Copies of this chain bind each other. A is one copy, B any other.
Amino acid sequence: MAEDVTLGDVARASGVSMAAASRALNGKDGVRPEVRDRVQLVADGLGYRPNRAAQNLAGGRASVVGLLLGSDEIRLDIYAASLLQSFVNVADSHDEGLMIIGDSASPNVAVRNLIRDGLIDGVIISAVALGEKWVEELLDANVPTVMVGAHPRRSDLCVVDVENSSSSETVVGHMLDTGCQRVATLTGHLSRVDASLRLDGYRAAHTKRDLTIDDSLIFEGDFSRAAGYERVDEILSANPDALFCANDEMALGVHKGLMERGVSVPGEISLAGFDRTSEIEFAGPLLTSIGQPFDQLATLAIETLSALVDNEQPPLEQLVTPEIFWGETTHPREPTPMEPNVPPDRLERK
């Protein structure tokens, strides 16, 4: 293992003071470009890496972000696992550490401690964790925070999210435009912002076409596969010819139920979901779905948190536009050259 080379070594080798070297390396001004380049070169040559603990202690930052996903979501929730995976990759490429924060006895204390201990600079909280009561307390602790997915009540928090409403509107609109007369929707818990926004999109697709909304076609679910499966009969009794589910999990549950009942998709019922997580599933249907831009969300979240830590004023809300995958569970659409379909890109299994 290479010996540790310190800032002092770099400074000496460059023939400047530590202060100058520090400024040069950190992009602060007050240093001649020529010197800056030289120091940078020497540092690279020596393989210099700043000691984060020292940086942190000296008033800098920890360069580590905390990620809060909820108690058991990593294992149970494909969305959470996918998001985490993206955070792992993005954090790495941003040279940030990523610390996963779990659901301890008193996690709000845990997080505050992490901050005070100087281990992390701030936290990124996924909306899937918002059920946890302690998250609420945490939000008052004044730690730099970025939400992935909006918080139902706190509008003062920076939030990064996918364009829930308009993308849902596009998909539902497509159903309506391809001959479906009775488009139903199975929502998430409507206490969640994303769930309610996706329902808004469903509604907007109708109103913009001067169609009245039949409330008996709206079913409130809970984002779980079981919810989809168990409510198939109830949904069928409303006699729909299309169903927009607020996530893929529910769509898969519904699909299973429909298959068991011999209902053809999309022949008798068109089906679409959200998240595009179902492709991990083995041998499932090629579900039409709105693809969560996980990498973009993670990138935005990390960069926003970074700005927050630096006392900048990042935008309160940043939405990213998802790509819609038109699968085989909805009627085909006219492909336009400007807006080609996203290729299946079915995941390889190891």
Contacts and interface: CB of A to CB of B under 8 A. Distances in A.
Interface stretch (A75-83, A173-181, A197-205, A261-269): A75-83
Given A225-B282, A350-B222, A117 B74 contact: no
Given A53-B57, A99-B64, A85 B74 contact: yes
Nearest to A131: B350
Give the interface centre of A77, A97, A101, A141 by most chain B CB atoms within 10 Å: A97
A104 B282 CA distance: 27
Contacts of A227: 349
A141 B1 CA distance: 6
A124 B227 CA distance: 37
A62 B53 contact: yes
Chain A residues touching B, range: 35 or more
A253 B349 CA distance: 12
Given A52-B118, A53-B117, 18 more contacts: A49-B117, A50-B117, A51-B116, A51-B117, A51-B118, A53-B56, A74-B84, A74-B85, A75-B78, A75-B81, A88-B100, A88-B102, A89-B102, A92-B102, A93-B104, A227-B349, A229-B282, A253-B282
